[in-house]
Amino acid sequence: MRIYFPNSGHLQNFGGFARKQDLSDPTSLEFSMNASYVSVHPMALAMAAAAGQHVRETGGPINADLAASDGSVRYIARMKLTDVLGVEPDLPMVEHAPEGRFIPLTRIQTQEDLNNFIRQMVPLLHATPDEAGPIKYVITELVRNVLEHAASPIGAMVCAQYFSKTERLSLGVADFGIGIRESIGAFHHAPTDLEAIHLALRPGVTGATARLGGNEQNAGAGLFFTKSIARVTRNFFVIYSGNAMFKLRPGSRTAQPTLLSDPATDAATREQDLPYWPGTAIGVDANVGSSAEFAELLASIREAYRLNVKAKSKAKYRKARFT
């Protein structure tokens, strides 16, 4: 594999970022960065870390070219990507406390690992317990999906960053497992990676059972909730698996957001010819703090989900609006 960090790799242009990668040979890794500066989303960091961890554990070689600006090298080092890749930056490093600003790359393999990560998330949310609850919930669901369905030998690589000026939380999760199509295909017909992604985003569809609504342990709602929070806070949400990517667009800042049960009807960018990512990578941005009533949001999402499963609707929800 060859993974390259351009000067910009955020959710709004993630298709372009993905096309710069060569994922054809998972037995080795060549990592490099733009020589001037690098600014990438936690999703990009999580993918690079997942690839690096996979190569390390399978005994393959890793070569990291850190011929970039000092600030860029310090950034990926502070986010612990250099640790995962097994390289030491030739720069003096001063590590500032991450509390309230970011969580560096963290490997999650067990429920205890997940619980510890969620505890670290609390100061990053800068929110009341009621506001923080839904964000903690969807992060738990995202990572739990990896632990239960991805068959990822490395577990999940996760990191997050908070931007105080915009009160925005950016989260990235990536695994090196079997991917959505193989996982969900055990119980659902998914002839392409994009169709598998669409299925995974529908509330009530899970790779744990063919029954609509899931089962007591897995309701098939985690990705739907995550997409909905991005939609309501008018942010990007990206999911990439196999050769396909679904990118939810933020939508109008003036119109009230509406949750759609069928992701095929969402205002989104869809690509199906990207370099093949064997597992699943997810990136989401969400505003936290006083700008969003997340407790009310989660209650509304749950109600929309309940109504959709009950009616087995094939269309969008009639009303799932938020004030």
Instruction: Name the band, by pLDDT with cuts 50, 70 and 90, for residue 224.
Output: confident
Q: DSSP 3-state assignment of 269?
A: strand
The answer to the question of residue 224 being in a domain is yes
Instruction: Name the band, by pLDDT with cuts 50, 70 and 90, for residue 96.
Output: low
pLDDT digits (tens, 9 = 90+) for 73-89: 999 999 999 999 999 88
97 versus 154: the higher-pLDDT residue is 154
Domain of 149: which CATH number?
Answer: 3.30.565.10
Strand partners, 244: 241
* pLDDT reading at 54 higher than 60: yes
The answer to the question of residue 153 being in a domain is yes
Q: How far is Cα 220 from Cα 44, in angstroms, rounded to an integer?
A: 25
Region of poorest pLDDT, from 70-74, 209-213, 250-254, 310-314: 209-213
CB of 174 within 8 A of CB of 208?
no
Q: How far is Cα 318 from Cα 316, in angstroms, rounded to an integer?
A: 6
The answer to the question of residue 303 being in a domain is yes
Alpha carbon separation from 233 to 91, 243, 250, 269, 302 (Å, rounded): 39, 28, 8, 18, 17
Q: How far is Cα 238 from Cα 217, in angstroms, rounded to an integer?
A: 25
pLDDT digits (tens, 9 = 90+) for 6-28: 999 999 999 999 999 999 999 99
pLDDT digits (tens, 9 = 90+) for 111-154: 999 999 988 888 887 777 766 777 777 788 888 888 888 899 99
Other beta carbons within 10 angstroms of residue 105's beta carbon come to 25
The answer to the question of residue 228 being in a domain is yes
For 310, residues 6+ apart whose C-beta sits below 8 A from its C-beta are none
CB of 105 within 8 A of CB of 49?
yes
What's the rounded mean pLDDT across residues 159-179?
A: 92
pLDDT reported for residue 315: 40
Alpha carbon separation from 42 to 81, 151, 201, 298 (Å, rounded): 11, 22, 21, 24
The answer to the question of residue 1 being in a domain is no
Q: How far is Cα 200 from Cα 13, in angstroms, rounded to an integer?
A: 22
* pLDDT reading at 275 higher than 90: yes
The answer to the question of residue 307 being in a domain is yes
Nearest of 150, 125, 4 to residue 64 by alpha carbon: 4
The answer to the question of residue 38 being in a domain is no
The answer to the question of residue 321 being in a domain is no
pLDDT reported for residue 210: 41
Number of domains comprising the chain:
1
According to DSSP H, which parts of the chain are helical?
A: 14-19, 42-57, 70-78, 81-85, 111-125, 129-149, 179-184, 193-201, 222-232, 294-311
Could you list the residue range(s) of the whole structural domain that residue 240 is in? 100-311
